[in-house]
Amino acid sequence: MSVLNASQSSALTRISSLAVPRVSTSLAVASMSVVSLAPGLLPRSALLQGVFSGLLVAVGLLVMWAFSAISRKVTPERVQARFDERSWRLGAFGVGAAATAVATLAAAGWQNSLRAAMSVPPIGILYWAEAGCVAALTVLILGLAVSVVRKVLHRLGFARAVTTAALFVFGLHLAVGSISPAGAVHTAASQSPMSEGQKFLASGTDSVRVYADLDSAPDASSRATLAVDELDRVGGFHREAVVVAIPTGSGWIDTHAVDGIEQRFGGNVAIVGQQYSAAPSWAAFLFQRSDAEESARALFTAVGTHIAAMPVTERPDLFLYGQSLGAVGGSAALAAANPTKPCDVLWAGPPAGATALDGVTVLANTSDPVVWWSPDLVTQRPDLSRAAADAPTPPWIPVVSFLQTSIDMLVSLDVPAGHGHRYGTQQGTELASCS
């Protein structure tokens, strides 16, 4: 045997002796990787893609570990031994690696098609190298965390473990509570820097703008009364139109909407808003939706009641506007009895299944995850009949689309205007005239 043949034989021997993952491990890693690489709505950073892939793979490994533990108790040993043979392991590993490679190539093409539609630079091989490293690191960190938790729970025992879990849940509840309305410090006349009310009052040029912050009054009804009194004092009801703008969870009113409303009415308009929460929109959507609805009803009814009491020839036209969670609160206001009928209602990026869409003007992008996302997305196609196509639309896949859309919610504002959950001056210019 020549030296060359001997070295080749030695290399093959070393390769053949390398450990190969179990069949269950290969299946878990490959299947979850493919799910994480399925088409999404928006461009993603390598960091976000890597963390998402790593998280799903870690969950898949945990589920497969639990399944394997159960199956070992009910599966005959000879069957277990068969699936543990090296040939089965190699086959599963090869199929899994091929499936992951194909999914990665497809994901690269899809991401670049989204980026081209949104005028975002394309991605290349370095993107996927970074995403792969982040995914592997995520799996490693989560694996170590699970191992540590198992050891701690084993040492604590069942009773102490339950107590610890209860304390953790209670602490989480307190943390969520800390971002509730009690934490807000703004008033209608507040000069607090960077407050949402100040941003709104500083926007625009010619319109009358009034904003009632959380601590301007103790409850939604009192804040609405204060806002209407202020609007009357500054002459807002003598403008051509009054627009009731329902803010998002944090109290934010999009300045693009203000600009569009001013363009629509040539500045001869008053815009009034009322804060109901200082929490991020996602937290308010989950935990304080009733506050949004109560606040919107109170303000819209108070404005409509004041207009109805004015002489007919002096009454301004009434409009209702809301973006995202503001559309949810606005829908509740629209459903309540009001002595003044609005000329038009406009929702921008309305959350799926949570708003009234009949008889209203809707601005929605097909790439907006807020328009897609709801628990129903797990088993039902999203209703995009009122959305404008702004980018390639991914196919709906049960469960998978829900996961992908949930991740896209994190970056829904990190895209150019006209895509995702970012809307422009059309939020005002597309308000219809009174019939």
Looking at beta carbons, which pairs linking 116-121 to residues 24 or more positions away fall under 8 Å? 117/390, 117/391, 117/392, 117/419, 118/42, 118/43, 118/367, 118/390, 118/391, 118/415, 118/416, 118/419, 119/416, 120/43, 120/415, 120/416
What contacts 143, CB < 8 A, 6 or more positions away? 58, 61
Q: Look at the block and give the residue holding tokens 């190539």.
A: 105
Beta bridge partners of 270: 208, 242
Find the largest Cα–Cα distance for the chain: 109
Tokens at 114, concatenated: 């989204």
Instruction: Give yes or no for residue 242 having a pLDDT over 70.
Output: yes
Q: What is the pTM of this model?
A: 0.81
Beta bridge partners of 273: 211, 245
Return the amino acid letter for 414: D
Instruction: Give yes or no for residue 417 having a pLDDT over 90.
Output: no
pLDDT of residue 18: 60
Higher-confidence residue: 11 or 67? 67
Instruction: Give yes or no for residue 164 having a pLDDT over 90.
Output: no
pLDDT of residue 204: 75
Instruction: Give yes or no for residue 150 having a pLDDT over 90.
Output: no
pLDDT of residue 156: 65
The pLDDT-based confidence of 81 (bands split at 50, 70, 90) is low
pLDDT of residue 181: 31
pLDDT of residue 201: 84
The pLDDT-based confidence of 277 (bands split at 50, 70, 90) is confident
pLDDT of residue 425: 93
Q: What is the mean pLDDT of the segment spanning 95-109? A: 94
pLDDT of residue 188: 39
CATH 3.40.50 domain range(s) in the chain: 184-365+420-429
d(CA 202, CA 190): 12
Higher-confidence residue: 230 or 187? 230
Higher-confidence residue: 348 or 190? 348
Instruction: Give yes or no for residue 177 having a pLDDT over 80.
Output: no
pLDDT of residue 170: 58
CB 203 within 8 A of CB 258: yes
Instruction: Give yes or no for residue 190 having a pLDDT over 70.
Output: no
d(CA 345, CA 324): 14
Higher-confidence residue: 251 or 186? 251
Instruction: Give yes or no for residue 238 having a pLDDT over 50.
Output: yes
pLDDT of residue 208: 92
d(CA 422, CA 362): 14
pLDDT of residue 182: 27
Helix orientation angle between 46-74 and 23-36, rounded to the nearest 10 degrees: 150
Higher-confidence residue: 187 or 147? 147
- The segment with the largest mean pLDDT, out of 88-92, 142-146, 274-278, 399-403, is 399-403
The pLDDT-based confidence of 179 (bands split at 50, 70, 90) is very low
d(CA 294, CA 330): 10
SS (H, E, C) the chain: CCHHHHHHHHHHHHHHCCCCCCHHHHHHHHHHHHHHCCCCCCCCCHHHHHHHHHHHHHHHHHHHHHHHHHHHHHCCHHHHHHHCCHHHHHHHHHHHHHHHHHHHHHHHHHHHHHHHHCCCCCCCHHHHHHHHHHHHHHHHHHHHHHHHHHHHHHHHCHHHHHHHHHHHHHHHHHHHHCCCHHHCCCCCCCCCCCCHHHHHHHCCCCCEEEEECHHHCCCHHHHHHHHHHHHHHCCHHHCCEEEEEECCCCCCCCHHHHHHHHHHHCCCEEEEEECCCCCCHHHHHHHCHHHHHHHHHHHHHHHHHHHHCCCHHHCCEEEEEEECHHHHHHHHHHHCCCCCCCCEEEEECCCCCCCCCCCCEEECECCCHHHHCCHHHHCCCCCCCCCECCCCCCCCCCCHHHHHHHHHHHHCCCCCCCCCCCCCCHHHHCCCCCC
pLDDT of residue 192: 44
d(CA 361, CA 135): 42
pLDDT of residue 321: 97
**How high does pLDDT run on average in the chain?**
84
pLDDT of residue 184: 28
Lowest-confidence segment of 96-100, 165-169, 280-284, 306-310 by average pLDDT? 165-169
Higher-confidence residue: 292 or 149? 292
d(CA 54, CA 141): 10
Instruction: Give yes or no for residue 11 having a pLDDT over 60.
Output: no
Helix orientation angle between 289-308 and 325-335, rounded to the nearest 10 degrees: 50
Fold classification of 184-365+420-429 (topology level): Rossmann fold (3.40.50)
pLDDT of residue 83: 60
Instruction: Give yes or no for residue 391 having a pLDDT over 50.
Output: yes
Lowest-confidence segment of 274-288, 330-344, 355-369 by average pLDDT? 274-288
CB 410 within 8 A of CB 51: no
Instruction: Give yes or no for residue 21 having a pLDDT over 90.
Output: no
Q: What is the mean pLDDT of the segment spanning 360-374? A: 95
